[in-house]
């Protein structure tokens, strides 16, 4: 079984903001897999589980089928680890079976970066997950949102919506991120990294 967690903040005021791109990937992946009709239906159709909104099902792989749980923590970004820990414990998963999807303002908008482990890079969601799991050895998929402009506080920047140019490239990146996650489930993290980290934006 695999667990894919997209990071973000609950509430309509955060929809479409840079910090919520992890939620957008989860919703797009659920639609791509045919579990929901459209990404915007996710929050209506998902179940309240693990302090979050979850949808589960099965995904075809080269080896047959894999059970998959998609999860959006509803704890707010800084407490994301609470939701992740609850799901990990319930299904008795290892950190290697977890994929965290998040925004990264150190990367150009739309750039994907997959890693099998690593530091939080200052991201508050990852910091809390590391605290709750007691390890940094879990896969993560970062999606670039562009560095913040000078003199704009980071907290303000990540909670703003994308400008039209960013929105276009991020939408394309969300589609690629779904492909990267499917590849990870089917062929493993090394194969996903080799294919999707190498794409030139």
| Phi, psi angle pair for 142, to nearest 5° | -95, 140
**pLDDT tens per residue across span 68-92:** 999 999 999 999 999 999 999 999 9
Does residue 190 carry a pLDDT above 60? yes
Q: What is the mean pLDDT of the chain?
A: 96
Does residue 195 carry a pLDDT above 80? yes
Going by pLDDT thresholds of 50, 70 and 90, the confidence category of residue 63 is confident
Q: Report d(CA 41, CA 52) in Å as an integer.
A: 15
Going by pLDDT thresholds of 50, 70 and 90, the confidence category of residue 116 is very high
pLDDT score recorded for residue 107: 96
- Determine contact, residues 143/102, Cβ cutoff 8 Å: yes
Does residue 201 carry a pLDDT above 90? no
Q: Which positions are annotated as active-site residues?
A: 19
Going by pLDDT thresholds of 50, 70 and 90, the confidence category of residue 200 is low
Phi-psi region of 92 (alpha: psi -120 to 50; beta: other; left: phi over 0): left
Percentage with pLDDT > 90 across the chain: 96
The SS3 call for residue 98 is strand
Contacts of 41 (CB under 8 A, 6+ apart): 31
pLDDT score recorded for residue 194: 96
């Amino acid at each position: 079984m695999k667990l894919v967690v997209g990071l973000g903040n609950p509430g309509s005021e955060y929809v479409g903001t840079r910090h919520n791109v992890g939620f957008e990937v989860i919703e797009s992946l659920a639609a791509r897999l045919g579990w929901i009709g459209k990404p915007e239906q996710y929050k209506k159709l998902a179940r309240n589980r693990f302090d979050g909104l979850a949808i589960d099902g099965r995904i075809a792989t080269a080896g047959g089928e894999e059970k998959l749980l998609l999860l959006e923590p509803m704890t707010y970004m800084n407490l994301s680890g609470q939701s992740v820990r609850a799901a990990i414990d319930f299904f008795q998963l290892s950190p290697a079976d977890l994929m965290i999807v998040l925004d990264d303002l150190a990367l150009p908008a739309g750039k994907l970066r997959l890693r099998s482990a690593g530091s939080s890079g200052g991201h508050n969601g990852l910091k809390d997950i590391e605290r709750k799991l007691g390890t940094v050895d879990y896969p993560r998929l970062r999606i670039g949102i562009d560095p913040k402009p000078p003199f704009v506080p980071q907290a303000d920047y990540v909670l703003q919506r994308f400008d039209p140019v960013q929105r276009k490239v991020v939408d394309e990146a969300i589609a690629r991120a779904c492909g990267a996650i499917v590849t990870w489930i089917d062929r493993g993290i090394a194969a996903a990294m080799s294919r999707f980290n190498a794409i030139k934006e």
